[in-house]
Structure 1
Amino acid sequence: MQDQNTEQLSDELEKQIRDAAEEAFDEEVESVNDQLEKEITFALVGDINTGKSSTVNALMEDELASVAPEPGQTIEVGRYYYTEKIVFVDTPGLDDVIKKNSEQTMKFFRQADVILFFLNAAGTVLSDGEMKVFKKLKRKNNNIIFVLNKIDAVDESEVDGLVQYVKRHTATNLPVIPISSKEGTNVQELREEILDMLKKNGKDLLFARHLRDKSPVANKWIYAAGGAAGTVGLSPIPGSDIVPITGIQVTMMVRLGKLYDKPISKRRAKELAIATVVGNIGRTTFRQAVKVVPVAGSITAAGVAGSLTVALGFAVKYAYEHDLDVDVDTIMSLIPKYYEEPKVKDQTPPK
């Protein structure tokens, strides 16, 4: 009788997961497809000796093509297209931003998704001209990242001081990223800051899928999904309401598929969500985890939910990066490689 009830619970839970997976899949596919139809404009500001072009090439790990100004433009605005939907807009220098006839330039800055404000670490950081331009830009658009370039030309001990100097004198919490476009130092940190800024406008995936090295982005998304699943704190066993966790996992799989340009099908996403939670992997890992504490509490449940979601994400990522089929057999065989038992303390009340 008990086996029959357990089987019935499992069937009911599987239906819940299937319905939740379908809903999450449809919503996320619509969301990412909408994002991929958008455009990203980067505005570059800084003097000609701040290494704008070399930084952009290092950022995208590619040489960008320059496009001449459109007919009728009264100022020189350089456009560098990475794709038809990702464009870097540059001006010759700071003087053009200050000129009275620079309305065309200011239009680009107002519309920019990200403004990369370049400073020369080996020169006069935040000169009067740079401060004047910064104050003007900030009134138009606050999506500014300071790029403190050429740190390879100064003593390493001076870098943090220069970063703090920029923060103090601009009196903002805007990010300041010290880099060396020449040596590639901290270019990944700049990418991550850009992705965080683009995420606010729902454009981070559009940028990320064109990066050559997608692994850091995938890792960040996977750990974020694991954290979200852990926060839900539901245990992946028959009888639990795991609808939110299913949505998190399916959303993660859809985004990873789009990131690697290998979209996952709705059927596969549902199969993997079901197998992860009510299959042998989910049931076995939960039974192992509850041995950590005398009574399985919410901490254990949250740990299992988070760990399984992370393991699922890394298994899917591994399959994409090694051209493996993202099917149940492959992913379930990979999950144990990435699964870590939740580390929880004994919650037994003191005597």
Structure 2
Amino acid sequence: MRDSAFDGLDEKSFFDRVQAKFVEKAPDLSQSLNIAIIGKVSSGKSSLINALLKLSRRKALEIAKVGAVSGVTKDLTILKLDEKVYLIDSPGLDDVRAENSEVTKNFLRHIDVGIFVVTGSSDASQKKSLDDLRQHCDSFFVVLNKIDEWDDLDPTVVDDVVNQWKNDLKVDKIYPTCTKGYDPKSRNPKMDIRGVFPLRNAIEEFLEKKGKDLLLARHMAEKQSYGVKIIAVALIAVAGQAFIPGSAAFITATQAVAIGSLYYLYTGKVLSSKAALAILPTFLAETAGSSLFLFVKSFLPPTGVFDVAAAGVAVVITLALLATVNSILSSDAKLEQEELLRSKFRSYHEQAKDVLRDLALTDIRDLPEWKVLVSKFLGGL
């Protein structure tokens, strides 16, 4: 017998709204991503690529061997990370043009990110190469690599060199880095990595605005931090959506989009909206009472106390749900293993209720705080 609470509710209409919201929110993973790393030979471009992708030396060698596309130009390396993501390591765009393959022709038509790598004392003659790169890419980042060569001098020396490069290249920002030991051919086991995080963070922020951050995150050797961010963003969304009319459709779509994003992050494959939504009933069956409350409440006008309660319920269920998906995918298990989904979800759901019981939802847009919470939650289980 149908519960009277659902009288007048159209199930088809509900899922139509969920589907519409999914399409609206889901990242476009059909896009391409081209990144050019430009700089003179021996400026440490390959090591910088490895550091940006958080690769081990072994993994760096694998990518160099499997992902490299052979070219005519001596100092040009083309790394094909997948069918949509290319990284080109070259002394300059003239070398890319000289290769003249379909890969480089397509690459030059649209470069998303240009990374211009310099070393040593400032050289004004390099401005021409930077200007060429600037004209071909959406955003560029200038990197002063190998800053370890000034380690024996006064710390202000690096600042002076950076300022000289800024003046000669006519740029406002330069990222000083050291990627010593990240060369896959290096025999020195000691690693000295400096300044890479701010550069990586700036590139990711730019790509996020273009909806292309997942395309690159997929190839990072360490994916947990990106999983944390996907979950944190979803928690912020559902906490806010619980306060608006029709919240159940919004919350369901947000959960499905986050599942799809985690799936792409760990597998490199696109999960359809139908497949993502099909996973949800497995979890919701474990929280029937709470799910029913959220569903019915979403058709009621805002009521203050009930809205806060709904936000708490939405956050708890979403955290447990996405932590389960993240755990399964990060361990190379399959989402089709329904019993595994259920058992992991039950454990995460109990933990989530304990962690979030006293959580104040007054500052729900504070992404860094949510990322810390999610990271601790995942690390503690």
Using the size of structure 2 for normalisation, the TM-score is 0.64
Distance of 1:68 and 1:241 partners within structure 2: 52
1:336 aligns with 2:356: no
Corresponding residue of 1:124: 121
Distance of 2:211 and 2:144 partners within structure 1: 26
1:226-260 superposed Cα distances (whole Å, 9 cap, x missing partner): 2222333427xxx9532122211110011111222
CA shift in 2, pair 1:76/1:181, >3 Å: closer
1:269 aligns with 2:279: yes
The answer for unaligned runs of 5 or more in structure 1 is 286-294, 346-351
Contact 1:24 1:251 in 2 (8 A): no
1:256 aligns with 2:262: yes
CA shift in 2, pair 1:177/1:215, >3 Å: farther
The answer for unaligned runs of 5 or more in structure 2 is 181-191, 295-303, 363-381
CA shift in 2, pair 1:43/1:31, >3 Å: closer
SS in 1 for 2:50: helix
1:143 aligns with 2:143: no
Contact 1:116 1:145 in 2 (8 A): yes
1:97-147 superposed Cα distances (whole Å, 9 cap, x missing partner): 8xxx97979985552121111133xx225x312334333432333421223
Distance of 1:303 and 1:162 partners within structure 2: 52
Alignment of 1:36-51 (within 5 A): 38=32, 40-51=33-44
Contact 1:14 1:274 in 2 (8 A): no
Contact 1:109 1:140 in 2 (8 A): yes
Letter in 2 for 1:53: S
Distance of 2:88 and 2:98 partners within structure 1: 14
Letter in 2 for 1:91: S
SS in 1 for 2:305: coil
Distance of 2:292 and 2:255 partners within structure 1: 17
Shift of 1:301: 4.7
CA shift in 2, pair 1:44/1:313, >3 Å: same
1:233-288 superposed Cα distances (whole Å, 9 cap, x missing partner): 427xxx95321222111100111112222758345333157458x73455799xxx
1:280-321 superposed Cα distances (whole Å, 9 cap, x missing partner): 455799xxxxxxxxx617566545544543443223212222
CA shift in 2, pair 1:24/1:243, >3 Å: same
Corresponding residue of 1:221: 230
SS in 2 for 1:42: strand
Corresponding residue of 1:279: 288
Corresponding residue of 1:319: 328
Using the size of structure 1 for normalisation, the TM-score is 0.68
Corresponding residue of 1:181: 179
Corresponding residue of 1:231: 240
- % identical equivalent positions: 26
Corresponding residue of 1:58: 51
Contact 1:117 1:146 in 2 (8 A): yes
Distance of 2:118 and 2:3 partners within structure 1: 69
SS in 1 for 2:178: coil
CA shift in 2, pair 1:229/1:17, >3 Å: same
Distance of 1:187 and 1:343 partners within structure 2: 35
Corresponding residue of 1:91: 90
